Structure 1
Amino acid sequence: MAQWRWRRFGHYGAQGAPGGEALGIAMERMVSGISSPVDSDRGLAARLRYLTASDAGYEAMDRAGVHVRPRQLMAWLAEEVKPRKDNLARLDAAYWDLRRRNVAADLKRRLHNGGRGTRVEINPVNENRVDRKHQRGDGLRRRLSTRDVNVRDLDLWDRAVDAWMDDDLGELDDVWQQICQDYLGTDWEAYAYVDSIGWDA
């Protein structure tokens, strides 16, 4: 885990998240899917269609612990029998696992942007509840500002996406530290914690 966080963050009321965590949240926001809950007829049917449309879907079900005979699966697909509650939860987990994996492959390509990298908007921590004398900034206590940087290091994007897929917060922290050091100049440590991160990928 990167050892560069602000000491006693939040002690004076600042609101935000570690940069690596915010980076993962930004990637997670790109995963869209079925809004109907898995225990609804529509939500279950859509998930089953998606999962049974490819070998990757069957692999996702296997990883999630969905182990049923083909006859049982066909009964689910035909809506003759509804899965038990535990299998519903596993099917939902399998569905979102597959969605994330499919998004990850596309996300690397989009973040690479043909070798041009991606512009990142970094919103600093929210210090509205912090007394002015305790707010971060330079010697004049200047408020932190939103920063826009174009991250062109494609290896960093690959590492970030892989870490997000592996739920490796330590690696996401390390990637974020490198982005800050490479693109934010001398005040990079002020962005160890952020309110949010976004991009146009």
Structure 2
Amino acid sequence: MPDRNLEFGKFGARGIKGYEAAARQLDALAGFIATPVTQRRGMLARLNYLTRSERARAAARAAGLTVTDRTLKRWADGRATPSKKSLAQLETAYRQVRRQNVTRHLLQRLNRDGRGTRVEFHPLNQSGVPRPRQRDVSFRSLNVRQWDRMVQAWAAGDEEAMDAAWFDGITADLGSDYGSYEYVMNIGFAA
């Protein structure tokens, strides 16, 4: 039974944690605002998203946006410019609120009433590993039917829970070599 890699990359393998690749795909499915927060258009789009209702404002406050409503209005009117720290806070709050808002939709989309979603596992890059130390790891695909743990952990921003959901939930269905997919080059969803 494979176990977690303690010294990944020691012999030259390259890749990222599988849950990080899955989180990137979930971020892509969430449809974040493409314009950076440092541009006025991107800042205004995020402000509109976070202040369009009382519920949105409350979620933004819970996500860590600490500036006053008066300051938010001044930013929107162009009478004040947010600092770098405030822009970072705005971006963090926006991403957290957006993740919470799309969680239910993503679960429906990925679980598909029990049919699940096809996931492609692109194995880690072993081109820098000496031939006798290379593992036999190949491209795999799997239909994942239960996304609840992974999506909930992603929405909460809990990396430990995402790692546990990835390792114990998603890759466990790959069979006896599930530990070989702790690190990957990429993950693809058919969602």
Give the TM interval when normalised to the shorter protein.
0.7 to 0.9
Q: TM-score, normalised by structure 2?
A: 0.84
The share of aligned pairs that are identical, in percent, is 40
Describe the shift of the 1:41–1:193 C-alpha distance in structure 2 as closer, same or farther (beyond 3 A).
closer
- 1:109–1:145 Cα change, 3 Å: same
Higher mean C-alpha deviation, range 116-125 or range 166-175? 166-175
How many residues are matched?
188
Matched, 1:105 2:104: yes
Partner of 1:140: none
The residue type paired with residue 131 of structure 2 is R
- Check the 8 A contact 1:163/1:171 in 2, yes or no: yes
Q: 1:35 to 1:132 in 2, by over 3 A?
A: same
Task: Kindly state the Cα deviation for residue 27 of structure 1 after the two structures are TM-superposed.
Answer: 1.9
Q: Supply the distance in 2 between the matched residues of 1:27 and 1:112 (Cα, whole angstroms).
A: 13
Q: Which has the larger radius of gyration?
A: 1
What code does the residue aligned with 1:52 have? T
Give the corresponding residue for 1:36: 35
Greater CA drift, 87-96 or 6-15: 87-96
Unaligned 5+ segments in structure 1 are 138-143
In the other structure, the counterpart of 1:148 is: 141
Task: Give the CA RMSD over aligned residues.
Answer: 2.2
The answer (yes or no) to whether the contact 1:36–1:43 under 8 Å persists in 2 is yes
Q: Deviations over 1:21-52 (max 9, x none)?
A: 33323323333333333233222222222211
CA distance in 1, matches of 2:36, 2:133: 45
CA distance in 2 between partners of 1:131 and 1:177 (Å): 27
Counterpart Cα distance in 1 of 2:178 and 2:87:
45
Structure 2 gaps of 5+ residues are none
Following TM superposition, by how much is the alpha carbon of 1:101 offset from its aligned partner in structure 2, in angstroms? Answer: 1.8
> How far apart are the structure 2 equivalents of 1:19 and 1:86?
31
Q: Which residue of 1 aligns with 2:8?
A: 9
Change (3 A) 1:200 1:54: farther
2:88 aligns with 89
CA distance in 2, matches of 1:82, 1:7: 46
Partner of 1:64: 64
More displaced stretch, 166-175 vs 122-131: 166-175
1:180 corresponds to which letter in structure 2?
T
- Give the Cα separation in 2 of the matches to 1:67 and 1:7: 42
Distance 1:75 1:120, change over 3 A: same
1:75–1:186 Cα change, 3 Å: closer
Which of 148, 151, 166 in structure 2 is aligned with 1:176?
166
- Cα shift readout 1:152-191 (whole Å, capped 9, x = no counterpart): 2x3xx1111111122322222222223222x212222222
The normalised TM-score by structure 1 is 0.81
Tell me the secondary structure at the aligned position of residue 125 of structure 2: coil
